[in-house]
Amino acid sequence: MKLARIGPAGHERPVLLDPRGRLRGLDDVIGDLNAAAISQEGLSRLTKLDPELLPIIDPDGVRFGPPVADIGKIVCIGLNYTDHAAEVGLPVPTEPTIFLKGCRPTGANDDVRLPRDAIKGAWEVELGIVIGEGGLYIDEADADAHIAGYCLFNDLSERAYQMERGGQWTKGKSFPGFAPTGPWLVTRDEIADPQALAIWLEVNGHRYQEGSTANLVFGVRHVVAYVSQFLALEAGDLIVTGTPAGVGLGQDPPVFLRDGDTIRLGIDGLGEQRQQVFAWKD
């Protein structure tokens, strides 16, 4: 299934996409796409629905919000593509690099506002893993049972905050609006192999990132199991798995986001995003 939440920020309603790509309302079935709805039991209930019996929603002007309500932790895996590590001149990690992103998810196509005096705004297209069943010390062989599905994610950052202001990466990753998520949650059964997906990103029509999740250093199951050794995963948590080569920092000369830029990104089967970038205004 492809599940989504549409409507104004803070007032989204749950929908699914039927086999022909039409939006079908879930208001009369569930209150929202929350932790209960994306659990194994909740998703099993949704799979039994006949989409043809659900009301069609006019897609004109629809805003896609974050596909899961009240997403909990955003856990990020750094340097998790072999080609990305090479372009920034850093060694491939021997264990996953974990950091947290301290902002709330936003809609897939919501505007992005850079921080005040931003000088090194950056993009990163990423595959997101949505946790449906929580756990601690999850075995890698059991990881699939804890995954509700996958989504597209843009891990935006201000590199000067991240790399030149001391402390941890979280400082540069957590400005409001730096977590566009969705448009859809695509359930696990629809993605035959999450490590065989084309992944790309463009800025102002120029394609900077074009790769494949096949280049992940640490795969989806390994990442879920690994993170659960250090953090108790909960339904609704989001693990974003790193970005392929083509980040602005890796260009010669480096390229950073500016007022008026347009970002487009996508992953096969998970949809696309489009964001307009604006400078901070007091």
Query: Is 3.40.50.300 the CATH classification of the domain at 74-278?
Result: no
Q: Residue holding tokens 């990690």?
A: 93
The residues near 183 (Cβ < 8 Å, ≥ 6 apart) are: 4, 64, 67, 107, 108, 109, 152, 271, 272, 273
HEC profile of 14-67 = EEEECCCCCEEECCCCCCCCCCCCCCHHHHHHHHCCCHHHCCEECCCCCCECCC
Tens of pLDDT along the chain (282 residues) come to 999 999 999 999 999 999 999 999 999 999 999 999 999 999 999 999 999 999 999 999 999 999 999 889 999 999 899 888 888 787 888 999 999 999 999 999 999 999 998 999 999 999 999 999 999 999 999 999 999 999 999 999 999 998 888 877 899 999 999 999 999 999 999 999 999 999 999 999 999 999 999 999 999 999 999 999 999 999 999 999 999 999 998 899 999 999 999 999 999 999 999 999 999 998
Whether this prediction's pTM lies above 0.85 is answered by: yes
Domain edges within the chain = 2-57, 74-278
Q: What is the rounded distance in angstroms from the CA atom of residue 144 to the CA atom of residue 146?
A: 5
Q: What is the rounded distance in angstroms from the CA atom of residue 59 to the CA atom of residue 76?
A: 32
